Amino acid sequence: MRNFEYFAPTRVIFGKDTHLQIGTLLKGQNCHKVLIHYGGHSAVKSGLIDEIKKNLDEAGIAYVTLGGVVPNPRLSKVREGIELCRRENVDFLLAVGGGSVIDSCKAIGYGLANPETDVWKFFLRTETPKACLPVGVILTIAASGSEMSNSCVITNEEGWLKRSTARNDLCRPRFAILNPRLTYTLPQYQTESGCVDILMHTMERYFVNIETMEITDSISESLMQTVIYNARILMKEPDNYTARAEIMWAGSLSHNGLTGCGTGGGDWACHQLEHELGGTYDVAHGAGLAALWGSWARYVYEANPERFAQFATNVFEIPCSLDFNKTALAGIEAMEDFFRSIQMPTSLHELGLDLSEKEIHDLAFKCSFEDTRTIGVFRQLNMKDMEKIYLAAR
């Protein structure tokens, strides 16, 4: 096992009606003016934004609003937010939404707190942020784990580059309000796409090629089983509070560092490969991951078939044969069967993308930063490997 530091400072307020505590919570933050940041329609249509405004009015907290964050959130909206907050002297950022809104808030926070630097430089990783304005979250979709995470992903429309900042604790939200009921209005596709993302945040940390910790493996395997079980329930019962709650808490635990304790940071190749899909073709993040994962797994499993066999046995209860390769492949198939059972794609075609060889090459070229970097640690992948995985996923 590797040495590790576990730091999860976000205060979590979990359960029914918890979003009504927002006024009290913000009072405790001693802020002067709040930005209420949200997405396209869902939070307005459900009445959530009005409820929050009323709550803030009653608590005597000043605010401005900025909606219109789109999935795969854009740099232009971040810049708009920075300008608005500067003009209005905003000193606290409240994200009402999912990963896209939270990341837009985090990026605005970086921009405001580092006025001497163009915010995109933090995503190119040519500069490191020195501070970030405080961010709070009212979560409406369980998926990204951004409500407790130390990363932030933004798409720059110039070149359609989807890039993440280096991990930085400065952007971890101060608090996250997790009310499972707020996720009842999600379309099934978004619910299930979110479940895949949650699984992947643990799987990226699980598939490493080093000796891991039994306790971390056990937590990870239980988390994966819980998500698989409840994702299936939500296909039939979207209003099942217990299933929504299990998925929501799994989402936060999957990406707050817990499932990576001792595993040395994780692989993250699938995420890198997916970010190019999201940036270029604007697909839902979790669905993009589902479309790629099987091809990635079959490409790399021979680097450590025992690890994949453990996954097959402990997550899908597949009896472990003496031939680890056989068990490993059965585990990969079981995961793809699960994706199909929740109507998630297992190929780029099923994701809605029929890509030419030239388009696949361009994705690999972008993902390898023009053939200057490798990705992954389970098996290190260069541009040619990336191209082969995208091709296999067609």
Residues that bind Zn ion (CB under 5 A): 197
CB 270 to ligand NZQ: min, Å: 10
- Name residues contacting ligand NZQ, limited to 202-261 (CB under 6 A): 255
The piece of 117-125, 151-159, 297-305, 343-351 that touches ligand NZQ (CB under 6 A) is 151-159
Minimum distance from CB of 306 to ligand NZQ (Å)?
Answer: 27
- Three-state DSSP at 260 gives helix
Stretch that binds ligand NZQ, among 28-36, 82-90, 190-198, 308-316 (CB under 6 A): 190-198
Distance CA 324, CA 104 (A): 43
Coil vs helix vs strand at 94: strand
**Does residue 137 sit in helix, strand or coil?**
strand
Span near ligand NZQ by CB under 6 A; candidates 10-18, 96-104, 310-318, 379-387: 96-104
Query: Is position 380 an interface residue for ligand NZQ (rule: CB under 6 A)?
Result: no
Q: Distance between CA 72 and CA 49 in Å, rounded?
A: 21
**Which positions from 254 through 313 interact with ligand NZQ, judged by CB under 6 A?**
255, 271, 278, 285
- Residue 261 · residue 213 · CB < 8 Å: yes
Choose the stretch contacting ligand NZQ; rule: CB under 6 A; options: 98-106, 311-319, 351-359, 363-371: 98-106
Q: Where are the alpha helices (DSSP H) in 92-213?
A: 99-113, 120-124, 188-206
Query: In this structure, which long-range contacts are made by residues 110-114, counting pairs with CB atoms below 8 Å and at least 24 apart in sequence?
Result: 110/152, 110/165, 110/170, 110/171, 111/78, 111/79, 111/81, 111/82, 112/82, 112/85, 112/86
Alpha-helix residue ranges (DSSP H) falling in 15-94: 22-27, 42-45, 48-59, 75-88
Q: What phi and psi values does residue 302 have, to the nearest 5 degrees?
A: -65, -15
Q: Among residues 272 and 304, whose Cβ is nearest to ligand NZQ?
A: 272
The pairing of strands 175-178 and 62-66 is unpaired
Q: From ligand NZQ, Zn ion, none, which one binds at residue 171 (CB under 5 to 8 Å depending on kind)?
A: none
Order the strands of the 33-38 sheet from edge to edge. Answer: 11-14, 175-178, 135-139, 92-97, 33-38, 62-66
Near ligand NZQ by CB under 6 A: residue from 149, 220, 280, 295: 149
- CB 145, min distance to Zn ion, A: 7
Q: Whole-number minimum distance, CB 10 to ligand NZQ, in Å?
A: 12
CA 321, 322, 328, 330 dihedral sign is negative
Which one of 178-186, 209-217, 307-315, 373-381 is the stretch in contact with ligand NZQ (CB under 6 A)? 178-186
Binding residue (CB under 6 A) for ligand NZQ from 42, 220, 295, 314: 42
* Under 8 Å between Cβ of 163 and 83: no
Residue 23's Cβ-count burial label (10 Å; 0-12, 13-18, 19+) is middle
Strand-pair category, 175-178 with 135-139: parallel
Q: Out of 55, 144, 254, 327, point to the residue binding ligand NZQ (CB under 6 A).
A: 144
Q: Which residue in 36, 43, 243, 297 binds ligand NZQ (CB under 6 A)?
A: 43
- Residue 143 is a binding residue for ligand NZQ (CB under 6 A): yes
> Shortest gap between Cβ of 228 and Zn ion (angstroms)?
17
Out of Zn ion, ligand NZQ, none, what residue 103 binds, judged by CB under 5 to 8 A for its kind, is: ligand NZQ
Residue 129 interacting partner from ligand NZQ, Zn ion, none (CB closer than 5 to 8 Å by kind): none
Q: Nearest-CB residue to Zn ion?
A: 197
- For ligand NZQ, the binding residues (CB under 6 A) are 39-43, 71-73, 97-101, 103, 140-141, 143-146, 149, 151-153, 182-183, 185-186, 190, 194, 197, 255, 271, 278, 285
